[in-house]
Amino acid sequence: MKVLFIGDPNLGDAGFSVVQRCFPQAQSFIWRKGDQRGKVEVRKAICATGSDVCISFYSDLVLRECELLHTGVTLNIHPALPTVPGLGYDTIPLIENHSNHGATAHLIDDAGLDSGPIFDVEERPLPEGCCYLELRQRNQAACLALLERAVNCIATCRTPDELRDCLLKSASRCGWNWGDCYITEKEHRRRIGELLARDPQHPALRDNPLVPALLGTNGSRISSTVH
């Protein structure tokens, strides 16, 4: 099957190398969040290329309905458990003192955000005292583990229809549902701002790139090195 990989500069190379182990002819598109010109070019390329299977991995590019018409079976690896849909996956578990963190693999069957059938979840314990950067790294590792399982599953199927049936069967057994509260960028910044006012030394703020923007030049006062 023809496989298309969509990633970002953070994990794109690592993720694509996982895909290439089973699909050496796969094509990759990497988009950096905020690059508006690049977004237009990638969207055009996705439609022009087409695929039987499309893997959106750790990517902020939201596929629209017009792109989904060209991507075949489309799945996404979301860097958080289903209980944390949207943004804030590297901070919300810390702010809300979650016991676990992880990643979610789900089908994209429309242009909805974090709403398709969940067919696999990588759930791991969240260590006490974990800070933003450490959780980010742990979430990335969970995403790579989930991607490897997804790619191995894709490799066992001969057609897109067979793959879709396989993933839907897995989804029926998975037992996970999306959380009700989708975290938007505005809501995420609000939560960070409230935490900053209440507890500026909180681990969720340590080395968090949103903090300097909210504090201005004083953001460096809570930065520290993660060991």
97 C-beta neighbours (distance < 10 Å), count: 9
- pLDDT for the residue 111: 55
Claim to verify: residue 96 and residue 138 sit in the same structural domain? yes
106 forms beta bridges with: 76, 118
Segments forming the whole domain that contains residue 11: 3-174
Claim to verify: residue 166 and residue 208 sit in the same structural domain? no
**Whole-number average pLDDT of the chain:** 91
Ranges of beta strands (E only) in the chain are 3-7, 27-30, 53-57, 73-78, 100-107, 118-125
Say if 210 falls within a structural domain. yes
**Could you give the CA distance from residue 191 to residue 144 in angstroms, rounded to a whole number?**
28
Say if 227 falls within a structural domain. no
Claim to verify: residue 110 and residue 32 sit in the same structural domain? yes
Claim to verify: residue 196 and residue 151 sit in the same structural domain? no
Contact 7, 27 (CB under 8 A): no
Claim to verify: residue 158 and residue 205 sit in the same structural domain? no
Contact 142, 124 (CB under 8 A): yes
pTM equals 0.90
| pLDDT tens profile 68-121 | 999 999 999 999 999 999 999 999 999 999 999 999 999 997 756 678 999 999
**CATH label of the domain that carries residue 23:** 3.40.50.170
Claim to verify: residue 161 and residue 191 sit in the same structural domain? no
The number of folded domains in the chain is 2
Say if 146 falls within a structural domain. yes
On the question of pLDDT at 212 being above 80, the answer is yes
- pLDDT for the residue 112: 62
**Could you give the CA distance from residue 157 to residue 155 in angstroms, rounded to a whole number?**
6
